[in-house]
Amino acid sequence: MFRSSSSPAIVLRKNRVGEIHKALHMLTPEAGLISAIAHGAYKMKSRLRLASEPFGYVRVYLYHDPVKEQFKITDLESIDLFERIRASVEKFFTASLWAEAVLKSFGGGESFGELFGLLRDALKLLDQSPAGGETRVSMQFLIRFLSLLGYAPDLESCSDCGRPLKERETLLLKRGGLELLCPECAPGAGEAAGLLLSPGGRRYLEATRAMKLERAVQVGLEAGAMGALKALLHAYLQTALDIRLNTLRVGAEIL
C-alpha cells in the first residue's frame, strides 16, 4: 500500500489510546484487516468522532509510516453509520458477534473481498430489520460466513458413514467437532453436544443459502426450530474458529 491511500472500510472495533485517540480495527475489500490510529477522535469536536464508531461503513484516508510500520487515519468520510444498530441492544450484540468472528478469522483469510461485501450488506439489513428480525439476519450472515471460510455444514451425507441423508432425518452435531451425524451414527459417536438440526432447519438451510441475502432474510422458520438452529450455528462457528467467542459468552441472554 502506498504511503497515502484511501479505501472503503467497515469499523469492527475501537480501543482507546491515551486520552483522546482511537485505535480502529477495520475490514477493507482490498487489504483485508487494517489497524490504524485516529488521532484526537475522542475529542467532542473532532470530525473523526462519529465516523470512527464500530459498525460504520466509511471511506478511510490513511498515511502509512514505513519506518514504524503503522497506519495513521488522516480523514474519515461516512457512507452509512447504521445508527439504528447502536440504538438497539439486540442489533448491537448481533453486529458485535459478526465483528468478533471477522477479527478472529483474520478477515476471512484470502476471502476478505467477498467477506467485506457480505458484512456491508448484512449490516444494512440488520440496521433496517424490524425488532425481532435480528436472528434471521444473523443466521444468514453466519451461514455465508462459514461457507467463505470453507466450513459449510454438509447437509447431503452423514459425516461418519457417508450415506445420503433422508429428508425427514434429524441430525446431531458431534461435540467439539464439525460433523453432522445421522441418527444411526449418533449413538456410537461418543459424547455428543446434544445440538440437533431438525428436518425443518435443514430444509431452511438448503433453501436459503442459495438465495440472495436480502431474499433469504425474509424466509421464516418456526420459533423452536430457529432457536435450535441458532444454538447449532453458534457452536459450529466457535468450533470452526477454534475459540470461545466473548460476545456469545457476554450476550448469551440477548443473542
Q: How much is the pLDDT for 177?
A: 79
Kindly report, residue by residue over 78-113, the tens digit of the pLDDT.
999 999 999 999 999 999 999 999 999 998 888 899
E strand or H helix that includes residue 100:
helix 89-104
Alpha helices in 149-253 (DSSP H): 199-208, 213-216, 223-241, 246-250
Residue 190 has pLDDT above 90, yes or no: no
Residue 109 pLDDT: 83
111 versus 12: which is more confidently predicted?
12
Lowest mean pLDDT among 2-11, 14-23, 48-57, 64-73: 64-73
Tens digits of residue pLDDT in 199-237:
999 999 999 988 999 999 999 999 999 999 999 999 999
Residue 194 pLDDT grade (very low, low, confident, very high; cuts 50, 70, 90): low
Contacts with 106 (C-beta within 8 Å, 6 or more apart), sequence order:
32, 33
Q: Which domains does the chain have, with CATH numbers?
A: 4-80 (2.40.50.140), 83-250 (1.20.1440.120)
pLDDT (tens digit per residue) in 123-170:
999 999 999 999 999 999 999 999 999 998 889 999 889 999 998 899
Q: Is the pLDDT of residue 193 over 80?
A: no
**Dihedral of the alpha carbons of 238, 16, 111, 138, in degrees to the nearest 10:** 50
Determine which helix (DSSP H) or strand (DSSP E) holds 126, and give its type and residue range.
helix 112-128
- What's the confidence (pLDDT) of residue 2? 58
Specify the pLDDT at position 188.
58
pLDDT at 3: 81
Residue pLDDT, tens place only, 22-48: 999 999 999 999 999 999 999 988 989
Q: What is the mean pLDDT of residues 9-32?
A: 94
C-alpha count within 13 angstroms, C-beta hemisphere, residue 154: 16
**In the numeric block, which cell numbers belong to residue 108?**
476471512
DSSP code string of 52-92: TSTT-EEEEEEEEETTTTEEEEEEEEEEE--HHHHH-HHHH
1 has a pLDDT exceeding 70: no
- Of the candidates 66, 49, 62, 245, the residue with the CA atom closest to the CA atom of residue 142: 245
Q: Smallest Cα–Cα separation from 31: which of 107, 131, 129?
A: 107
